[in-house]
């Protein structure tokens, strides 16, 4: 596929490629946040476990490099939570030190019971992340979501936060997520979706498109289980047709090929993995026929 054909392909899917200064990446796909049409890079960064580190330079220096490569690659979404130990503080410290804080789309969560505890916890997140405004505040794992959504709506009206959302990571929570989307005005949902966990395709992803709700995807590699399945196996030659040169890109491109997906947030503490992940948002995405081919391949392994 030529560059011109690639750009036409992205345009037909309603995607916007952006030219990046990132030397290893030519273009990074951007997707629209449905509630506002703001563009968001389709690959981001999760911080669960990977950013929960001490203040030692040995532990923090690789994470500095990760954040540098993220921004250099034209990406911006960084997702955290009070549940993730020291991750919020590390993101805040390093992004401020690197002068990158205002270049990031910061997403975090409220993860507690009760209105006042929620307010206290979210205010602490503002302090840890070195932010006067947080881009996306989400109710983590639906904990006390009815109470927290009321606060989030008020804070959004006051411009303390820009977007509100809900999260979960299990298929068992999908019915609850569906009901919340139907009954409440929210901007984002975050859930687990991968080539091995496709339950959201049945009802949630079509509903998100219908209700104009953005979708963040966590655990795209099933916490490394997918890499174990393909260990020692080479990519089929036909994957080169979609600019795919690693299994990580294979898994990410599958996810992004669903038009409801706004951004995938794989976590890593390794700069070379971050660079590889970003390439999952570059080049052609699989069409319906290729998606089935990818599923069949994984089912055969």
Element housing 259 (H / E): none
**DSSP structural state of residue 283:** S
Q: Do residues 104 and 59 lie in contact, with contact meaning Cβ atoms separated by under 8 Å? A: no
| Closest to 195 (Cα-Cα) out of 293, 109, 82 | 293
Q: Do residues 298 and 195 lie in contact, with contact meaning Cβ atoms separated by under 8 Å? A: yes
Q: What is the pLDDT of residue 49?
A: 95
Q: What is the pLDDT of residue 26?
A: 63
Q: Beta-carbon neighbour count of residue 3 at 10 Å?
A: 11
| Closest to 243 (Cα-Cα) out of 284, 204, 295 | 284
Whole-number Å distance between alpha carbons of 12 and 6: 10
Whole-number Å distance between alpha carbons of 133 and 112: 20
Residue pointed to by tokens 């981001």: 44
Supply φ then ψ for residue 111, to 5 degrees: -140, 70
Q: Do residues 28 and 279 lie in contact, with contact meaning Cβ atoms separated by under 8 Å? A: no
Q: What is the pLDDT of residue 28?
A: 79
- Domain 3-300 is found in CATH 3.30.70.2740: no
Each domain of the chain, given as residue ranges in start order, spans 3-300
pLDDT tens across 140-172, in order? 999 999 999 999 999 999 999 999 999 999 999
Q: What is the pLDDT of residue 2?
A: 40
Listed as ranges, residues in the chain with pLDDT below 50 are 1-25
Strands 188-192 and 161-167, how do they pair? parallel
Supply φ then ψ for residue 36, to 5 degrees: -135, -15
Q: What is the pLDDT of residue 48?
A: 96
């Amino acid at each position: 596929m030529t560059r011109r054909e690639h750009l036409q392909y992205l345009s037909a899917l309603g995607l916007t490629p952006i030219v990046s200064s990132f030397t290893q990446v030519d273009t990074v796909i951007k997707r629209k946040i449905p509630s506002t049409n703001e563009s968001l890079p389709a690959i981001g960064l999760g911080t669960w476990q990977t950013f929960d580190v001490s203040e030692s330079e040995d532990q923090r220096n690789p994470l500095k490099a990760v954040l540098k490569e993220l921004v250099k690659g034209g990406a911006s979404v960084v997702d955290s939570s009070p549940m993730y130990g020291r991750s919020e503080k590390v993101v805040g410290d390093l992004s401020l030190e690197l002068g990158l804080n205002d270049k990031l789309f910061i997403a975090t969560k409220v993860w507690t019971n009760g209105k006042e505890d929620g307010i206290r916890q979210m205010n602490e997140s503002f302090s840890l992340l070195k932010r006067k405004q947080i881009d996306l505040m989400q109710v983590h794992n639906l904990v006390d979501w009815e109470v927290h959504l009321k606060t989030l709506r008020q804070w959004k009206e006051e411009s303390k936060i820009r977007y509100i959302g809900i999260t979960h990571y299990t298929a068992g929570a999908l019915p609850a997520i569906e009901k919340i989307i139907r009954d409440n005005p929210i901007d984002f949902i975050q859930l687990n979706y991968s080539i091995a966990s496709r339950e959201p395709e049945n009802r949630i992803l079509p509903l998100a498109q219908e209700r104009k709700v953005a979708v963040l995807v966590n655990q795209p590699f099933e916490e490394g289980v997918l890499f174990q399945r393909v260990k020692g196996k080479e990519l089929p030659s036909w994957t080169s047709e979609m600019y795919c040169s690693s299994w990580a890109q294979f898994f990410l491109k599958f996810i992004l090929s669903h038009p409801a997906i706004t951004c995938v947030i794989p976590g890593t503490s390794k700069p070379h993995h971050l660079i590889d992940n970003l390439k999952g948002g570059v080049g052609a995405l699989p069409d319906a026929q290729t998606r089935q081919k990818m599923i069949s391949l994984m089912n055969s392994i």
